[in-house]
Amino acid sequence: MPNQRQYSPADRLLLQADAALRTLLPFSGQPQRPTPAVLKNEAELSDSQARHVAGLMRINHTGEVCAQALYQGQALTARLPRVREAMERAAAEEIDHLAWCEQRIHQLGSHTSVLNPLFYGLSFGIGASAGLISDRISLGFVAATEDQVCKHLDEHLEQIPQDDEKTRAILEQMRTDEAQHSTAALDAGGLRFPAPVKFGMSLMAKVMTKTTYRI
């Protein structure tokens, strides 16, 4: 059986820098799966509808930026190799969502949030701190975060016009993937966070959604 390569701390920092650039630079993330929107028809949206959908997709894109940073921060400080590998694998899967959202935003004639670097840095710090505390806390944070994302996606699906098949297809697939990530984190030993902690996380999420909807 081949030995897995052992990375030095310097190697890992360089890998994190590369991951940050691939997350934040436009169209630099390469999805493993084609967008679910590829075979869907483009809807005729009014200008106000297109702006609103683009704002919602900008929120979702920034959410994926935060997820990337969270996973990368946790992978950097995770104690157990299996947990580190799980975080890196989850980050790779989230690249799909990142690319799909970015593609759809540009199709709608809009742009990603200028605040993405700020939210990346904050999320990376939170992820690294969680990993330093314990792997169980780290996995629990993943589960709680993905639960929050699922709630946002459900709310957005209620607001997306029914004939906007492209956007709905993307969000529905993301909803399925995020629910699986949450379940996998708990099955791997993640701590189920109490309601007050989840409430605090929801307040932080509201700050992100309110700001990135427009900018």
Domain ranges of the chain: 46-212
pLDDT of residue 47: 96
pLDDT of residue 20: 73
pLDDT of residue 1: 40
C-alpha torsion sign, points 171, 172, 177, 180: positive
pLDDT of residue 19: 72
pLDDT of residue 2: 42
**Is 111 in contact with 105 (CB distance < 8 Å)?**
yes
Superfamily of the domain at 46-212: Ferritin, core subunit, four-helix bundle (1.20.1260.10)
Q: Report the distance separating Cα 70 and Cα 192, nearest Å.
A: 18
Q: Report the distance separating Cα 134 and Cα 101, nearest Å.
A: 32
Walking along the chain (215 residues) 10 residues at a time, the average pLDDT comes out as 55 69 71 92 95 97 90 80 73 86 96 95 90 88 90 96 97 94 87 87 88 93
